[in-house]
Amino acid sequence: MQLLSLAIWTPIVFGVLLLALGRDEHARLVRWFALLGAVLSFGLTLPLYVQFDNGTAAMQFVENLPWISRFNVNYHLGIDGISIWFVVLTAFITVVVVIAGWEVITERVNQYMGAFLVLSGLMVGVFCALDGMLFYVFFEATLIPMYLIIGVWGGPNKIYAAFKFFLYTLLGSLLMLVALIYLYIASEGSFDLATWQQLPLAATPQTLLFFAFFAAFAVKVPMWPVHTWLPDVHVEAPTGGSAVLAAIMLKLGAYGFLRFSLPIAPDAAHEWAWLMLTLSVIAVVYVGLVAIVQQDMKKLVAYSSVAHMGFVTLGFFIFSELGVSGAIVQMIAHGFVSAAMFLCIGVLYDRVHSREIASYGGVVNRMPKFAAFAVLFAMANCGLPGTAGFVGEWMVILAAVKFNFWLGLLAASALIFGAAYTLWMVKRVYLGPVVNQDVEALQDINAREFLMLGLLAAAVLWMGIYPKPFTDVMHVSVSELLEHVALSKLPL
């Protein structure tokens, strides 16, 4: 077995075993087994980083086996500087999520843990797939566990949220499926991504393909105006589900832009960049403003996710190395920070059972350790230098200013909104005097919660203070991608 296959299948095997054999009578055993699976899977991703060669843009750890010979579909895996950190991030977040669900989930523990482990393996698969059909299978298969996670363990309006999530994202990806089949026929029988990236395509097919991929990925990112599912789903999903959704599932869409839209339809990407930039800036500015007025903490963080993902797509469509690298760094940083924000809300929700900002006030008096973490993550969310959030945003803004001063200015203004909604929430929830009985009765975080938030805090600080490991690996791959995208694929 190769490393990438191990990284994909270890969590899936653990998850399936939990689903098949786990019983609520042995909940304790189930939890430890799930943790073992998650930690083992995370451990298996570390050699990927250690053995990774920064000097080449070629795919590494490649595995290529025939899968469905009739359609020439191959089990083709590999990672480059763009995808490697997402593999590690996915496995890391899964460990945190298993810890987060430890005491909170008491019913059908095996199904909860199993679903997250299977989901983790599938998402790693999306980041590793170099075959269009393999990518699609992993990409779509993630819907099944997430649908069940939201629907079974979610909040009061969970059913609406689960359906909205599933159908919204399915609509986008079905159009992508037609695009994949079109490419398969146009390339005379190949699902290989590298072949597709070299395939010359006329202007009209490129535009159609670009928008078919856009339908799939923009919904997943989500870009304005197809972002409306995200707040609804985040509010109803269980804490772990929200964390995985924000930290990783949104990145699947953004990653799709880098792997499919840009290299396969570069001319269309350049032609429609103005539209993408406009939508991104609207996401950054308008959705940022929407976030300010939210009453519900989870909704606020959900809107803040949309705004942050706006930075990501903004960085992509500037087509400069700084912009694209900044966007990728922003994706990783947002993975840590948004997961941490949702887990913080989860910590409060487990105790008070309310997500309303108005139900809290003066939490710092009762939970000083927890408040320290929460404020750190809030600072990272508004992009304070020295935290993970700063690096990516700063790179994207710099690239935007170089590209067009006014675009840069608009993007930079978002930092102000970001600070406004995050800090205002911090003020209302954590600072000030204790406002009611519920807050008075709060207990500070226990060792388990400390561990889970501590892991994320370490990651956030490390990435903010020393981002070199993150930027170094992607440098060559990103410049290779941009060189490729700069070449026209129109037939002469």
Which stretches of the chain bind other proteins, using CB under 8 A? 19, 66-71, 108, 111, 133, 136-137, 140-141, 143-144, 147-148, 151-152, 158-159, 162-163, 166-167, 170-171, 174-175, 177-178, 181-182, 184-185
For the chain, how many residues are written? 492
β-pair partners for 129: 77
The first and second tokens of residue 70, run together, are 């009739």
For the CB of residue 15, give the shortest distance to other proteins in the complex, in Å.
13
β-pair partners for 68: 73
- The smaller minimum CB distance to other proteins, of residues 71 and 466, is found at 71
Residue 438 amino acid letter? D
For the CB of residue 211, give the shortest distance to other proteins in the complex, in Å.
12
- The smaller minimum CB distance to other proteins, of residues 184 and 303, is found at 184
Residue 223 amino acid letter? M
- The smaller minimum CB distance to other proteins, of residues 152 and 372, is found at 152
For the CB of residue 12, give the shortest distance to other proteins in the complex, in Å.
11
| Nearest residue to 322 (alpha-carbon basis) of 466, 471, 487, 473 | 471
Rounded-to-integer distance, Cα 388 and Cα 383, Å: 7
Beta-carbon count within 10 A of 108 CB: 17
- The smaller minimum CB distance to other proteins, of residues 208 and 461, is found at 208
DSSP-derived secondary structure for 449-473: HHHHHHHHHHHHHHHHH--HHHHHH
Rounded-to-integer distance, Cα 30 and Cα 114, Å: 9
Find out whether the peptide bond into 263 is cis, omega within 30 degrees of 0: no
The first and second tokens of residue 388, run together, are 């993970």
For the CB of residue 251, give the shortest distance to other proteins in the complex, in Å.
20
For the CB of residue 230, give the shortest distance to other proteins in the complex, in Å.
19
Helices (H), 192-296: 193-198, 203-220, 229-236, 239-244, 250-256, 262-264, 266-271, 273-282, 288-292
The first and second tokens of residue 199, run together, are 């395939």
β-pair partners for 92: none
For the CB of residue 210, give the shortest distance to other proteins in the complex, in Å.
16
For the CB of residue 142, give the shortest distance to other proteins in the complex, in Å.
10
- The smaller minimum CB distance to other proteins, of residues 160 and 450, is found at 160
β-pair partners for 64: 76
For the CB of residue 163, give the shortest distance to other proteins in the complex, in Å.
6
- The smaller minimum CB distance to other proteins, of residues 75 and 462, is found at 75
Residue 76 amino acid letter? H
The three-point CA angle 47-53-59 to 5° equals: 95
- The smaller minimum CB distance to other proteins, of residues 159 and 416, is found at 159
| Nearest residue to 344 (alpha-carbon basis) of 322, 304, 372, 321 | 372
For the CB of residue 105, give the shortest distance to other proteins in the complex, in Å.
15
For the CB of residue 220, give the shortest distance to other proteins in the complex, in Å.
16
Rounded-to-integer distance, Cα 350 and Cα 448, Å: 14
- The smaller minimum CB distance to other proteins, of residues 53 and 107, is found at 107
- The smaller minimum CB distance to other proteins, of residues 127 and 430, is found at 127
- The smaller minimum CB distance to other proteins, of residues 169 and 338, is found at 169
Q: What is the DSSP letter of 404?
A: -
Q: Are strands 73-79 and 60-68 parallel, antiparallel or unpaired?
A: antiparallel
For the CB of residue 162, give the shortest distance to other proteins in the complex, in Å.
7
- The smaller minimum CB distance to other proteins, of residues 173 and 387, is found at 173
- The smaller minimum CB distance to other proteins, of residues 114 and 335, is found at 114
Rounded-to-integer distance, Cα 184 and Cα 180, Å: 6
Q: By three-state DSSP, how is residue 94 classified?
A: helix
**Which position has the token pair 């804490």?**
239
- Residue 51's Cβ-count burial label (10 Å; 0-12, 13-18, 19+) is exposed
For the CB of residue 222, give the shortest distance to other proteins in the complex, in Å.
17
